Amino acid sequence: MTETTAVLPYGDHSHGKLWLDTVASWITTVDHKRIGLLYIGYALVFLVIGGIEALVMRVQLSMPNNHFVTPAVFNRMFTMHGTTMVFFVGMPILFGFGNYLVPLMIGARDMAFPRLNAFSFWISAFGGLLLYFSFVGGDGLYGAGTAPDVGWFAYAPLTARIFSPGHSTDYWILGVFLSGIGSVGTALNLVVTILSLRCKGMTLGRMPLLAWIYLVTSWMVFIAIGPLTAAQIMLLLDRSLGSHFFDAQAGGSAVLWMHFFWIFGHPEVYILVLPAFGFANEIIPVFSRKAIFGYPAMVAATVGIGFISMGVWAHHMFTVGLGPAGNIFFVFATMIVSVPTGIKIFNWLATLWGGKIHFASPMLFSIGFLFQFLIAGLTGIMLSVAPFDWQLGNSYFVVAHFHYVLVGAILFMIFAAFYYWYPKMTGRMLSETLAKWHFWLFLIGFHLTFDLMHVPGVLGMPRRVYTYEADRNWGSWNMAVSIGAIIQTAGVLCFVWNMIRSYRKGKLAGADPWDAWTLEWKTSSPPPHYNFAEEPVVESRRPLWDLKHPNETDTEYE
Amino acid sequence: MSESINTIAADAEELWQLPDKGQVGMACLIVAETAIFAIFVVAYIFYLGKSLSGPTPAEVLKLPIVGTVCLLSSSLTVHFAVAALEKGKARLSTLWLAATVMLGAIFLGGTAMEWHELIYRYGLTIQTNLFGTTFYSLVGLHATHVLAGLLMLTLVLIFGIKGKLNSSHAHRLDMLSYYWHFVDAVWVVVFIVVYVVGI
């Protein structure tokens, strides 16, 4: 059943070589698994950096009239935190898992274009380095240098040369631009891999839902990243050649930038959250010991989210004043998104229903995800109502809402994915004890931070303020929020320590530690360079179930 | 689905056909590029008539008939080049490629002359007004794509002249021709927006 008799064991050729050769082999690799790990490792480094930036902000805001950092540093922190987390943590970590898992799950030996894959990773990595080089070179190498401070959505006219002199904003533009090129390259690769490299019998109707989700996500990347790239080109032309796209003095429009940015920015949220749904689709059935409930409905909901999310961007702009027609359209378009997402939540609940649930660490994080994603969706519906948004737009209520999605839903599922697939990637299990510490610390810290963060928002605290007066009564709420951030940090430290420790001392995983059903568990852990010694042939949605239960195969029921 | 499973499994060996990698990949690239062009076209239309100072499009733009005819017919010649190579006629294919490169170069030359006239006779630069800003960026983005396509076609042409081209390269040339057709299609949109609607 398992193909452990590898002809050329993965990494074996590096025995007795210098560490420089190992480094060189990673730099020059075109293997989808190694590139996936590079993506994930790179994203984890930036996750730590972005997390430190968040902590700096939380220390600054923990008390009224605090002066832990200067206002200028605070502006740089929220700009770099947002940009880093979206473009250099969220995107690469999801592409990393996609790169690693999709070819294995559909029974392919590699991505469709391995060299394009390596190019996409390195161009994205260069974008991240360029963004952070701005700390040194932001002023153009005279003076001390600064990082970008225009906010992650970089509204005009703040980004105009006259208001943001020096080169820090240019570093932001180029860093994001390059990461966009890498994203389109990898998305293209994923689509071609999924459509053209499936193993025999892997029809679209039998594909693991994760592969379906990456197909839809990649499609959204094409349509969403294009506008961002275009807008970045325009901004770069404005700043370096003196054109007037967003220059109000020459008749240009600052609102046009907002439209262009959010035409990218809102689909981007779904680009980030869909892979999290994909992880849930794989993990929840395995730990409920049931096949996923409503496979076709799940696919339809994914495609539906993909389409609807293209037409909701201006709900980020209710406070600009869109007029009644625009308001009505974007309110209802936004509310309609809750239909397919609701279908997904009910399908996950129906999968759990009557299942034999195992509360292993991946499942714990998935359950946390289910509850938190529901709440994030509910505050989302609240904010989708234009008058409500006029009241609370740009407040900490909004910040709490989208962090509920990004941390409560996406990051929780990313942690679940680590606990679930780490054994496949390294061949060793993560420690369950440390995982439980991680889960409970992070859960408590998360709720302390982001549940309470809604309150100062309702009390009128605007986002991105450097500090506030004591008589506003926001102090104790903010102190609790900051304490929550420190508890979350402790949880993440458990996670990092778990990953380092288990790499050497973890229990050996074997090919299929979770008794799972998709193809990646058919090959050894870690998989050999060529993934499968023989190309698999698939006859149902759960090929490994069929192998393990030859008398009761899925093919009879699908 | 269940009733058809057994037939599928039995026929899987012979019937398992998936879409071509190159075609899907090029289609994806075209979708992503279309999204970029769409935003530039939207910006052009949005800023039509909003320039605070002259010159206006009606005052300075002339229909680039020669360039347009050349670029559109180059779609035809590149198609003939692919068809010839598929039949193994490498020399004929090289000739058609040469024609394609020539037509593309005439188009770019036309753009260069147009820009030269706009800059030196009418004083219109990217800094002059919103028309200059959107015109040079949209037409320039398209011209950049023509240039990229032209460089790749020239590379194939060099291989052809050196006699290194054979029918095994037909599929790759076909993919390149997809890109070239796309660039032509974009020009149709740019032409209509900039030179017909915008004047």
Nearest to A237 among B5, B31, B137 (CB): B137
Question: At residue A196, what is the residue type?
Answer: S
Size of the A and B interface in Cβ pairs below 8 Å:
128
Please judge whether A196 and B24 are an interchain contact, meaning their C-beta atoms are less than 8 angstroms apart.
yes
Contact B36 A112 (CB under 8 A): no
Subunit contact B18:A195, Cβ cutoff 8 A: yes
Burial of A57 (0-12, 13-18, 19+ CB in 10 A): buried
CA distance B54 to chain A (A): 12
Q: Report domain extents, chain B.
A: 21-197
Report the gap between the CA of B95 and the closest CA in chain A (Å): 31
pLDDT, residue A377, reads: 94
Helices (H), A142-167: none
Query: How much is the pLDDT for A18?
Result: 84
Q: How far is A311 from chain B (nearest CA, A)?
A: 14
Q: Which residue of A245, A257, A299 to mutate against B (max B Cβ within 10 Å)?
A: A245
**Single pTM value for the model:** 0.93
Q: Which residues contact A466 (CB under 8 A, 6 or more apart)?
A: A60, A71, A74, A75
Which CATH architecture does the domain made up of B21-197 adopt? Up-down Bundle (1.20)
CA distance B157 to B190: 28
Task: Give yes or no for a contact between B23 and B175, defined as CB atoms under 8 angstroms apart.
Answer: yes
Q: What is the ipTM of this complex?
A: 0.92
Query: Which member of B1, B5, B51 has the closest CB to residue A251?
Result: B51
Using a CB-CB cut-off of 8 Å, the residues of chain A touching B50 are: 251
pLDDT tens digit string along A423-453?
Answer: 999 999 999 999 999 999 999 999 999 999 9
Domain ranges of chain A: 26-556
Q: Which two tokens stand for residue A449?
A: 């931070």
Kindly list the residues from chain B whose CB atom is less than 8 angstroms away from the CB atom of residue A205. 1
Q: For the domain covering A26-556, report its CATH number.
A: 1.20.210.10
Task: State both tokens at A174.
Answer: 């180029």
Secondary structure letter of residue A547 according to DSSP: H
Positions of chain A with pLDDT lower than 70, given as ranges? 1-17, 140-145
Residue A459 CA to residue A478 CA, distance in Å, equals: 12
Of B8, B19, B127, which has the smallest distance from its Cβ to A242's Cβ? Answer: B127
Yes or no: say if A317 and A262 are a contact pair by the CB < 8 Å rule.
yes
**pLDDT value at position B199?**
84
pLDDT given for residue A143 in this prediction: 56
- Residue A215's closest chain B neighbor by CA? B28
Q: What's the pLDDT at B3?
A: 43
What tokens appear for A274 in the block?
């869909």
Residue in B with minimal Cα distance to A184? B32
Residue B40 to residues A364, B148, B174, B186, B193, Cα–Cα distance (Å): 46, 19, 28, 11, 11
- In angstroms, the CA B5 to CA B1 distance is 7
Digit-by-digit pLDDT tens for chain B (199 residues) are 344 444 444 444 557 899 999 999 999 999 999 999 999 999 999 999 999 998 999 999 999 999 999 999 999 999 999 999 999 999 999 999 999 999 999 999 999 999 999 999 999 999 999 999 999 999 999 999 999 999 999 999 999 999 999 999 999 999 999 999 999 999 999 999 999 998 8
Give A245→chain B minimum CA distance, Å: 7
Peptide bond into A157 cis (omega under 30): yes
User: In this structure, are residues A392 and A398 in contact, taking their beta carbons and an 8 Å threshold?
Assistant: yes
Please give the backbone phi and psi of residue A162, each rounded to the nearest 5 degrees, phi first: -70, -30
Helix (H) or strand (E) holding B62: none
Residue labelled with tokens 């360029």: A130
How far is the CA of A325 from the CAs of A34, A42, A307, A312, A328, in angstroms?
50, 44, 21, 13, 5
Please tell me the distance in Å from B74's CA to the nearest CA on chain A: 27
Q: What is the pLDDT of residue A145?
A: 67
Check whether the bond before A527 is cis (ω within 30° of 0): no
> Which residues in chain B have their CB less than 8 angstroms from residue A539's CB?
5, 9
Q: What residues of B are in contact with residue A223 (Cβ under 8 Å)?
A: 31-32, 35
Closest partner residue to B40 among A230, A241, A557, by Cβ?
A230
The answer to whether the beta carbons of residues A83 and A176 sit under 8 Å apart is yes
- Omega prior to A526 cis, within 30 of 0: yes
